Amino acid sequence: MAVVAQTPDIAGERQSGQDVRTQNVVACQAVANIVKSSLGPVGLDKMLVDDIGDVTITNDGATILKMLEVEHPAAKVLVELAELQDREVGDGTTSVVIVAAELLKRANDLVRNKIHPTSIISGYRLAMREACKYVEEKLSVKVEKLGKDSLINCAKTSMSSKLIAGDSDFFANLVVDAVQSVKMTNARGEVKYPIKGINILKAHGKSARDSFLMNGYALNTGRAAQGMPLRVAPAKIACLDFNLQKTKMQLGVQVLVTDPRELEKIRQREADMTKERIEKLLKAGANVVLTTKGIDDMALKYFVEAGAIAVRRVRKEDMRHVAKATGATLVSTFADMEGEETFEPSFLGSADEVVEERISDDAVVMIKGTKTTSAVSLILRGANDHMLDEMDRALHDALSIVKRTLESNTVVAGGGAVEAALSVYLEYLATTLGSREQLAIAEFAESLLIIPKVLSVNAAKDATELVAKLRAYHHSAQTKADKKHLSSMGLDLSEGKIRNNLEAGVIEPAMSKVKIIQFATEAAITILRIDDMIKLIKEESQNED
């Protein structure tokens, strides 16, 4: 029985018990229903228009949920969940929200049937641990056996639900090449793939198939002045984080002038200070100067005369990547310990060449042949902004997935195979337990089937029949010793039948699946624990006259 009480000393309302739980579950279902239809290779896109009328067309779960301004506190947990999945794995944002909402719905039914939330939570935790263990031990396949094709297949699986699915062969190759070219080994001897070093530039015009991978880091700005050379080789790069403009006196500095002729000298000195700074830069050997702030015309003159390329208003993020790739130090002031202004040549980064190239209508400055790490840029071409943005999101997911596959080295079959296998396994596990958790684990097993169900519904196929067949295959794979190979059976959504997805090349990194299960369970538990909601009403402060 829910009580909405108004206690005399607290201004606000309090709901408790089943009411709150139902309300939270309904809110989470609503969020999950928004992204549900965008799951899978035939998922549909969402068009989101924000308060100032900007349009986003996407089917990336994290992006959709970020754009929605969710008010309900429990539903916010799901939005944060999708962001966490995006940060940790990069793909699978839609699945994680759908699974979490389904787990909640089932748990709510159990609570209605007089099972205490604590029993359900411990059951869910147990099921989560068992499921992750089962994925890692029984379902995952080492990548070594599969070779480069497996990486391309992972990328294609990740892209299958996106806008560029039609050209997935072409883009999957681009993505795999890009990730492999930023390979590096860190101090501990681990091989890492910092995909942040892959710069994605969007340029209008041509078709999506004209996108290409370019060695070197591309900056989305041109040279600061036309008189500068188009190409500098070999390049010594200075990365600055301050203005190269006429130095103004700081605020609060007072200069008392008795003689008006002195004014001119002050002005002259202000101009000379900038000139001296630039001379220090050039003397240290810099022939490419990047700054995050502005450079004024007077300062540009000196660079033009020295035959150096200067680029202004470079994004902070780009600056960090360039500094890392070329071995430069990002300098935010020239002042040294003694209060003098100096610029050490050791602050410079080096690259084979820096060139300005034109891509469609934009000038792009390319930094090629960087010293420390190999930086690459993906230049995307496409018809319009919406398409380019969506391609960017799709490639971000694919890059993350390839990175995860390379670093973790294990993959699993996609297309609902893992979920169906886990569902069968957990259902059997539930029957072996003699405790209350049995019911919770059975519901957990049922919840996982939501993924193959939604996949087949989105593909306009008969979900009930396909999921039943799928479970039958997995049941025999787990009970009969000679049918082990059936454990990678999954859905073929274009044909509407069951096939071996490992052979068909529909694969994803095992880590992605494990994280989905972990995060979804954690989120469901967090929301399930809530049985009281107290909303405080702000007190109107009395005007003290």
What is the set of active-site residues? 60, 93-94, 397
∠ Cα 327 219 93 (to 5°): 95
∠ Cα 536 537 539 (to 5°): 120
Closest CA to 79 of 89, 67, 91: 67
Long-range interactions of 533-542: CB distance < 8 A, separation 24+:
533/14, 533/15, 533/16, 533/20, 533/23, 533/73, 534/10, 534/12, 534/13, 534/14, 535/12, 535/13, 535/14, 536/10, 536/11, 536/12, 537/11, 537/12, 537/13, 539/11
> At 198, phi and psi to the nearest 5?
-95, 115
In whole angstroms, how far apart are CA 157 and each of 182, 208, 343, 394? 22, 19, 50, 11
Q: How many CA atoms are closer than 13 Å to the CA of 521, on its beta-carbon side?
A: 25
Q: What does the CA dihedral 110, 113, 114, 117 come to, rounded to 10 degrees?
A: 10
CA distance from start to end of the chain: 45
Handedness of CA 59, 60, 64, 67 (dihedral sign): negative
Tokens 């989105």, located at residue: 458
Please tell me what DSSP assigns to residue 295.
B
Bridge partners for 198 per DSSP: 376
∠ Cα 75 457 90 (to 5°): 50
Closest CA to 209 of 153, 167, 270: 167
- Beta strands (DSSP E) in 234-347 are 235-240, 288-291, 309-311, 330-331
Rounded Cα distance between 69 and 402, Å, is 31
